[in-house]
């Protein structure tokens, strides 16, 4: 009988390993790093020891050689303990590592992938700018060829893993920049390392609503010189790279919502049996039953959609945007709503940090914004569905 959520023993073993790791290592530190708005670099490097920082990378380059389902399992299990920490993992393993692996040359892969798969270097991806987020073609950062180097000028905003502390850059980034005047062939992708001339930390962004355990930064490129050998693919290839990688990004963000929802359901379900009012457990009251039952059904609906989409997603090919948008559109809001119901079930206890659901609710909101807003998903879906038949 097919197990949608663990299609092979390898997937089941991955889930067991990560659930145990999340419960033992990730969950106990989550509240403290949320309060301090800091990134647990030491814990992050342990993910390298587990072999999941390059989860979709071939073994010969230091990765685990697994698929989109494995990536979903990893994000679901880690997010059930600490969504902020998991966002840092996503930015590294999906936005940098998977993106780089799919689009780089073998020479580039051999040079850079072992360090990022082991956790020796922490990576990120630079796309959004102060005036260009969902409007990707509005990007202003430029890259001009000057002999054996490209010179980058501009700024990138909202970059996860852009800083590893208040004053220190992350280690390595994929940077999208304009190399032409107009159109989708006007953008190229570059690998930029910390220490490159003209590359600096603009600011680490603080006082975020949620996802505080992942760092968010502004990065500045001021006459930044990058070797021409660090161009990924050919000039003008970047939008294709970006669109293909957005599919696994959105799928794994949806998986994070699954983790948030599952943990919220576990907490409210347990509390509903422990808390008594008017002489009986509050789970005997219809309002509480509605919150628990609706949350479970919504979570399972989203979970089936995510894993079914992951089962058919080929990481080396594009063309899955309808359902990668669809799962994120549904699950992002679902996770937030389930966390909200958990707060309601717990009442005053849900409003404080002890029971964790207030942190899960704050973290969940980002998933309606990052990786594409829910409005962008609605636009994409409506446009794409106009061109296809829904009938099998």
Residues annotated as catalytic (active site), given as ranges: 249
Determine the 3-state secondary structure of 232 from DSSP: strand
Spatial distance between the Cα atoms of 120 and 1, rounded to a whole number of angstroms: 41
Going by the DSSP 8-state scheme, the letter that residue 130 receives in this structure is T
Determine the 3-state secondary structure of 177 from DSSP: strand
Q: Collect all residues with Cβ–Cβ distance below 8 Å to 389 and sequence separation of at least 6.
A: none
Q: Collect all residues with Cβ–Cβ distance below 8 Å to 171 and sequence separation of at least 6.
A: 121, 122, 123, 164, 193, 194
Spatial distance between the Cα atoms of 153 and 141, rounded to a whole number of angstroms: 6
Spatial distance between the Cα atoms of 338 and 361, rounded to a whole number of angstroms: 8
Q: Which two three-digit tokens encode residue 61?
A: 């380059």
Going by the DSSP 8-state scheme, the letter that residue 180 receives in this structure is S
């Amino acid at each position: 009988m097919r197990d949608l959520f663990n299609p092979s023993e390898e997937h089941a073993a991955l889930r067991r390993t990560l659930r145990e790791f999340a419960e033992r290592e990730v969950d106990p530190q989550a509240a403290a790093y949320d309060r301090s708005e800091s990134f647990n670099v030491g814990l992050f490097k342990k993910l390298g020891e587990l072999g999941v920082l390059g989860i979709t990378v071939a073994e010969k380059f230091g990765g685990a050689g697994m698929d989109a389902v494995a990536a979903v399992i990893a994000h679901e299990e880690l997010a059930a303990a600490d969504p902020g920490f998991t966002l840092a993992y996503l930015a590294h393993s999906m936005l940098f590592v998977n993106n780089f692996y799919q689009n780089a040359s073998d020479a580039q892969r051999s040079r850079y992938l072992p360090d990022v798969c082991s956790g020796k270097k922490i990576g990120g991806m630079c796309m959004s700018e102060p005036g260009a987020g969902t409007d990707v073609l509005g990007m202003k950062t430029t890259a001009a060829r000057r002999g054996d180097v490209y010179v980058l000028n501009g700024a990138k905003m909202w970059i996860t893993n852009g800083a590893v502390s208040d004053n220190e850059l992350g280690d390595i980034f994929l940077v999208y920049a304009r190399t032409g005047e107009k159109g989708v062939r006007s953008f190229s992708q570059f690998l930029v390392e910390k220490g490159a001339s003209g590359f600096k930390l603009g600011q680490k962004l603080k006082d975020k609503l949620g996802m505080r355990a992942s760092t968010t930064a502004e990065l500045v490129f001021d006459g930044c010189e990058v070797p021409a050998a660090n161009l990924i693919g050919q000039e003008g290839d970047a939008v294709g790279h970006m669109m293909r990688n957005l599919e696994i990004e959105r799928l794994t963000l949806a998986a994070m919502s699954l983790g948030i929802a599952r943990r919220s359901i576990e907490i409210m379900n347990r509390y509903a049996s422990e808390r008594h009012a008017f002489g009986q457990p509050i789970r005997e009251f219809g309002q509480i039953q509605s919150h628990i039952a609706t949350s479970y059904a919504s979570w399972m609906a989203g979970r089936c959609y995510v894993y079914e989409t992951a089962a058919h997603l080929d990481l080396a090919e594009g063309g899955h945007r309808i359902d990668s948008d669809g799962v994120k559109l549904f699950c992002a809001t679902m996770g937030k709503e389930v966390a909200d119901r958990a707060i309601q079930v717990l009442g005053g206890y849900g409003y404080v940090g002890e029971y964790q659901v207030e942190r899960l609710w704050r973290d969940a909101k980002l998933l309606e914004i990052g990786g594409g807003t829910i409005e962008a998903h609605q636009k994409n879906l409506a446009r794409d569905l106009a061109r296809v038949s829904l009938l099998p």
